[in-house]
């Protein structure tokens, strides 16, 4: 049984390891850690020993669990004349966008989509170019979703 006086050191070790992010260096989110058991020794136990043990245990658990890299996903609404709909939807597809719906608003077409933020850099220039300046769009944060495995591999080497 671990004496209660060492619990703060254990929590600190876990928080430090979660903050460092394992192999990728990005902070870990949505973790639940349960302390099941532990040993205590009158001579060898210390705050630092428990802190290091907790950090090491979490590092090993992360490696065994196979972490998932999350990327921000944006909600996107593009309003365009119908003449440019094909070019804009093709460009969105090349940006890993998922087109959820296409509808009309008067004489204009409205594309509702979701896309990874990483892929949307430079989109304002692209949408102007694709529509000769006649399309507009709005974008807002939607959620975080699992990034492609290739992105995690690129980060971890």
Number of domains in the chain: 2
- Per-residue pLDDT band for 97 (boundaries 50, 70, 90) equals very high
Q: Clarify whether residues 75 and 137 are in a common domain.
A: yes
Domain-located, residue 157? no
Residue 24 has pLDDT above 80, yes or no: no
C-alpha 18, offset from chain centre: 15
The residue range of the domain holding 123 is 70-152
**Domain finish residue from 20, 42, 65:** 65
Where b means 16+ CB within 10 Å and e means fewer, 24-44 reads eeeebeeeeeeeeeeeeeeee
Give the angle 75-136-88 at the CA atoms, nearest 5°. 75
- Per-residue pLDDT band for 27 (boundaries 50, 70, 90) equals confident
Spatial distance between the Cα atoms of 50 and 102, rounded to a whole number of angstroms:
56
pLDDT in tens, 128-150: 999 999 999 999 999 999 988 88
pLDDT in tens, 54-74: 999 998 888 888 778 889 999
Residue 156 has pLDDT above 80, yes or no: no
Cα→Cα distances 143→25, 72, 75, 116, 146, Å: 21, 6, 9, 10, 10
Q: Clarify whether residues 85 and 50 are in a common domain.
A: no
Q: Clarify whether residues 38 and 87 are in a common domain.
A: no
Q: Clarify whether residues 55 and 82 are in a common domain.
A: no
Q: Clarify whether residues 35 and 74 are in a common domain.
A: no
Q: Clarify whether residues 142 and 76 are in a common domain.
A: yes
Residue with tokens 């532990």: 38
Residue 1 has pLDDT above 70, yes or no: yes
Q: Clarify whether residues 16 and 90 are in a common domain.
A: no
Q: Clarify whether residues 77 and 60 are in a common domain.
A: no
CATH of the domain at 9: 3.30.230.10
| 3-state percent helix, strand, coil for the chain, nearest multiple of 5 | 45, 25, 30
Q: Hey, which residues does 116 pair with through a beta bridge?
A: 73
Q: Clarify whether residues 119 and 92 are in a common domain.
A: yes
Domain-located, residue 37? yes
pTM of the predicted model, to two decimals? 0.71
Q: Taking a C-beta distance cutoff of 8 angstroms, is the pair 18, 62 a contact?
A: no
Q: Hey, which residues does 143 pair with through a beta bridge?
A: 73
Q: Clarify whether residues 56 and 116 are in a common domain.
A: no
The two three-digit tokens of residue 156, written as one number: 């971890």
- Round the average pLDDT of the chain to a whole number and report it: 91
Q: Clarify whether residues 59 and 85 are in a common domain.
A: no
């Amino acid at each position: 049984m671990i004496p209660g006086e060492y619990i703060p050191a254990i929590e600190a070790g876990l928080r430090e390891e979660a903050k460092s992010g394992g192999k990728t260096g990005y902070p870990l989110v949505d973790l639940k850690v349960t302390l099941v058991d532990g040993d205590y020794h009158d001579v060898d136990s210390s705050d630092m020993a428990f802190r290091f043990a907790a950090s090491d245990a979490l590092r090993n658990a992360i490696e065994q669990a196979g972490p998932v890299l999350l990327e921000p996903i944006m909600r996107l609404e593009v309003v365009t004349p119908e003449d440019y709909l094909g070019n804009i939807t093709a460009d969105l597809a090349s940006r890993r966008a998922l087109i959820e719906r296409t509808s009309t608003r008067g004489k204009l077409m409205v594309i509702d989509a979701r896309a990874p933020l990483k892929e949307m850099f430079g989109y304002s220039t692209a949408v102007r170019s694709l529509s000769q300046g006649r399309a507009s769009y709005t974008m807002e944060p939607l959620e975080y979703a699992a990034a492609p495995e290739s992105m995690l591999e690129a980060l971890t080497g």
